[in-house]
Structure 1
Amino acid sequence: MNQKTFSDWRIEAAVMQIEGRAFIDGAPRHASTEKTFPCVSPIDGRVLARVAACGEADVDAAVATARRAFETQSWAGMNPRDRKAVLLRWAALIREHRDELALLETLDTGKPIGDTTAIDVPAAVQCIEWYAEAIDKVGGEVVPADHHLVGLVTREPVGVVAAVVPWNFPLLMAAWKFAPALAVGNSVILKPSEKSPLTAVRIAQLAHEAGFPPGVFNVVPGGAEPGRLLALHHGVDCIAFTGSTRTGKAIMECAAKSNLKRVWLELGGKSPNIVLPDCPDLDRAAKAAADAIFFNMGEVCTAGSRLLVHRDIKDAFIAKVVAAARAYEPGHPLDPAVTMGAIVDRIQFERVLAYIEAGRREGRLVTGGAPVREETGGFYLQPTVFEVKPDATIAREEIFGPVLSVIEFDNVDDAVRIANDTEYGLAAAVWSGDLTTAHEVARRLRAGTVWINGYGEGGGEMSFPFGGYKQSGNGRDKSLHAFDKYTELKSTIVRLR
């Protein structure tokens, strides 16, 4: 357990040296144009660093070195146990630099330091270790073919993988992409969000220190342009993206216009959290409902942003949720006691405020709804709860902020209908004391993850596949199923006679 105080973290933040260059072919480098962009902390609005604004020449260089590394088999040609050893050294270095990386993540995104030290960095380490340990234990198949044939099915790395990742969990979401991709022998180009590029650059340096051959792991920061160029690039074999549905559609279009590269998308969500009147523990359900939307300032793709509550218990349950929301009073993210930090930047802050105004017009504001700590220069919002109809704007569109929509229903069929009436299908939950009812509802919910009598449990377990139905995307992160995204299946057929 980290024992550093608020004062300790502020001192470390004041003296921290931050690297903002790209990482290509085993070394840091400036953008070819020398252009940079300011990396601004949402905590207080100060510029943390100038970061390389990569463009076409930089993307071309990253793809060329990744391709060269793949074709020379400097990484893909290693024995699986040797790749495992390098990945485990990398994980150990990340663990060793946990506080530095957690501090970078907090300064960059506004996440509470208690979360980045206890969740974000350890979970990224666990992800790398999990795939490192899995890779020399996953085999192929011997096909039961005709007796004059021997049929083998083997997996091969797809080649050059581009990973375009979001700003809400910058290090962890990146690890969900690059860990399985690297484990099976691919070269990787990581494009972090321009809102949160700092940990990506730092772990690239640690990857080199761990023994990755040059060109195997590259980082190209920048705005939307590097991501678009990677999606269009004929030298990229696969692109894995986590972010908005709109951007995911654009990436798929770019892939279709170029070389039909594999496209894997983990997109938005508007997840329903259903509380039936026979819920076995309303206090625990209310606390879970608050955590489901206010953890990480609501900047979570699986956030339980739609709380569906039966008419008979609605008023009492809303009161319990409001009480639980008091534990999420926004504060300085470097204070270990703080549970809610800052919204990632001004653009997102103003976007959430606009949704709050829409909520005021279309529903009843129950609590919150106002900016706080404005004197700091940072972007802080109260945890906010509305009571709305199912067709309200804030009940249908992904907000990515601490805004909860409470929706009343009359019966189970009504709840399932409202829950599934969305373009998304990432996550859902149902609370019931009747296990038969709970299972039957879970089966009817169109979502990639469904919790029963909980919300968010198992998020740190790598064995559960993660992804969504409908416009929440395709493919699965985590688990052995992630290897399907970054490998090609080859059938080898040998004629014996």
Structure 2
Amino acid sequence: MTLATHDDWLRRAEALEPAVTHLIDGADEPGDGAFPVVSPRDGRVLAEAADAGPAEVDAAVAAARRAFDHGPWPRLSPADRGRILLRFADLLEERRTELALTISLEMGKPVTDAHDIELRAVITTFRWYGGLADKLTDESPHTAPDALALVTREPAGVVGAVVPWNFPLTLAGWKIAPALAAGCTVVLKPSEHSPLSALLLGRIGLAAGLPPGVLNVVAGDGPVAGRALGLHPDVDVLAFTGSTAVGRHFLRYSADSNLKRVWLELGGKSPNIVLPDAPDLERAAATAAWGIFFNQGEMCTAPSRLLVHRSVAEQVTEAVVARARALRVGDPLDPATEMGALVGEHHLDRVLGHVRTALDDGARLRTGGGRTLTGTGGSYLEPTVFDRVAPDSRLAREEVFGPVLSVLAFDDLDEAVALANATEYGLAAGLWTSDLSTAHRVSRALRAGTVWVNCYEEGDLTVPFGGMKQSGNGRDKSAHALEKYTELKTTWIQL
């Protein structure tokens, strides 16, 4: 259960003493520099976090390499690794309130969402992979009678994981848990906007029984610490979630170093298609509004393009606008808040730039579009809806990563599919229809890694998640995630 009142969370925030040093080889490492972690809630400095340079990244990778090459972790039985991951999940549950508070303070999401949604996802992830660890099997293909062939999955080695600020622990868990289950060791580099929750996560893993060096956490910015990790010759696999532009850098780092495998989950400009035969237009509108404003719109899968059949476009748009106007924007530590602060002033300015460009391009602003709660010192934006958005405009094509919805009308199904696919991204999509044949045909026609039909953002750990086109490659979640962190080895025995 979350704490009951705003005052409860405020008191806990005053007493919070976040972890601020790197975790390298099982020990605190302050490093040579520090940087301020600013809360978008009120613009105040939460803490001075250790700032990793190449030396700290080298030390973390060296610790992970020793732990992989000589330590016990890859040599433990899968069942023993699974038990430690299950203990990890238990300790995350015990520290759930502290973790949720830290996330809310450092990146601005409502603390109830951090507690009830993000931490639930993180805990479930470690439990799921802890349970899966000893259930993977190798292969023995049928060959000639005088030979025995074995195909084994072996841990890939040292994994560098670079994760963003919007879901700092969910996305870290999606990478760390399967990598650890496979027997890999990890160097985690969180965003410089949300390092505190990740630094705490690393210490919880150590308390759960991870041997020193198995999970290392270094804080720092992307152009320095992220680049050092991407170029490091002793990193075997690099897993990244973030922007497409930064994803390209990691591919270059791989080419310029040791050709490490690079797995990318990148941006999105997800279409949400509403047909006139949707089973419930009001629910479709409510879900569209929830999807774009949840987490302040700072989601790669956010349904930022609402594609509505012209015959119902005004009805659906009015319903979305009404929900946007009713949404409570406020202090992330207030349990009544439905939308918190954007991650910082830099990002708020960027999103407002998209709003100005949309107006210049002729889109009609239906609600929002401006800063709010300016007296708090925080980075707050009104829920924003545009319609009459031109398909070739920047608002329809570029990822805003904020609470800004573009509405586009269409006249027939072929046009809807063409509009949906008219983007460089291919992460996710939504479709609302009562016709089973339409659901199947359109789902197959959409170039997206996930298609939700008559819902949005649904799923669990059993299903894979990832994108097509410039939304990336590889998959998080499910047993398929193990493919990123294992190597297939063939052993042929002549009998």
Output the TM-score relative to the length of structure 2: 0.99
**Partner residue of 1:401?**
402
> Conserved in 2, the CA contact under 8 Å of 1:163 and 1:240?
yes
Distance 1:182 1:473 in 2: 22
> Conserved in 1, the CA contact under 8 Å of 2:68 and 2:74?
yes
> Conserved in 1, the CA contact under 8 Å of 2:104 and 2:114?
yes
Distance 1:487 1:73 in 2: 18
**Partner residue of 2:338?**
339
Task: Note the C-alpha offset of 1:325.
Answer: 1.8
Question: Mind listing any 5+ residue stretches in structure 1 that lack a counterpart?
Answer: none
Match for 1:244: what amino acid?
Answer: S
> Conserved in 2, the CA contact under 8 Å of 1:309 and 1:407?
yes
Q: Deviations over 1:422-473 (max 9, x none)?
A: 0000000111111111211111000000011111111xx1011000000000
- 1:150-161 matches, cutoff 5 A: 150-161=148-159
Task: Note the C-alpha offset of 1:163.
Answer: 0.1
1:177 aligned to 169, 172, 175, which one? 175
Q: Deviations over 1:334-364 (max 9, x none)?
A: 0111110000011111000000111111210
Match for 1:289: what amino acid?
Answer: A
After superposition, the Cα gap between the structure-2 partners of 1:181 and 1:327, relative to the gap in structure 1 and judged at 3 Å, is farther
**Partner residue of 1:28?**
28
Q: Deviations over 1:284-339 (max 9, x none)?
A: 00000001100000000100000001111111111011112234321110011111
- The percentage of aligned residue pairs carrying the same residue is 55
Task: Note the C-alpha offset of 1:210.
Answer: 1.1
**Partner residue of 2:439?**
438
Distance 1:167 1:365 in 2: 28
Match for 2:330: what amino acid?
Answer: G
User: 3-state DSSP class of the match of 1:170?
Assistant: coil
> Conserved in 1, the CA contact under 8 Å of 2:324 and 2:367?
no
Distance 1:20 1:73 in 2: 27
Distance 2:27 2:421 in 1: 48
> Conserved in 1, the CA contact under 8 Å of 2:122 and 2:169?
yes
Distance 1:240 1:324 in 2: 37
User: 3-state DSSP class of the match of 1:142?
Assistant: coil
> Conserved in 1, the CA contact under 8 Å of 2:464 and 2:478?
yes
Q: Deviations over 1:254-308 (max 9, x none)?
A: 1011000010000000000001111120100000000110000000010000000
User: 3-state DSSP class of the match of 1:190?
Assistant: strand
> Conserved in 2, the CA contact under 8 Å of 1:329 and 1:382?
no
Match for 2:176: what amino acid?
Answer: F
> Conserved in 1, the CA contact under 8 Å of 2:3 and 2:9?
no
RMSD: 0.8
Q: Deviations over 1:375-424 (max 9, x none)?
A: 00000001000011111111100010000000011100000000001000
User: 3-state DSSP class of the match of 1:168?
Assistant: coil
Q: Deviations over 1:209-232 (max 9, x none)?
A: 111111000001001111111110
Distance 1:21 1:50 in 2: 9
Distance 1:457 1:175 in 2: 18
Distance 1:73 1:149 in 2: 34
Q: Report how many residues are paired.
A: 492
> Conserved in 2, the CA contact under 8 Å of 1:329 and 1:383?
no
User: 3-state DSSP class of the match of 1:61?
Assistant: helix
Match for 1:180: what amino acid?
Answer: P
> Conserved in 2, the CA contact under 8 Å of 1:124 and 1:171?
yes
> Conserved in 1, the CA contact under 8 Å of 2:325 and 2:367?
no
Task: Note the C-alpha offset of 1:28.
Answer: 1.1
Are positions 1:50 and 2:51 aligned together? Answer: no
Question: Mind listing any 5+ residue stretches in structure 2 that lack a counterpart?
Answer: none
Distance 2:207 2:319 in 1: 50
**Partner residue of 1:490?**
489
**Partner residue of 1:163?**
161
Match for 2:291: what amino acid?
Answer: A
Distance 1:450 1:290 in 2: 18
**Partner residue of 1:424?**
425
Which segment drifts farther, 68-77 or 36-45? 68-77
Are positions 1:311 and 2:315 aligned together? Answer: no
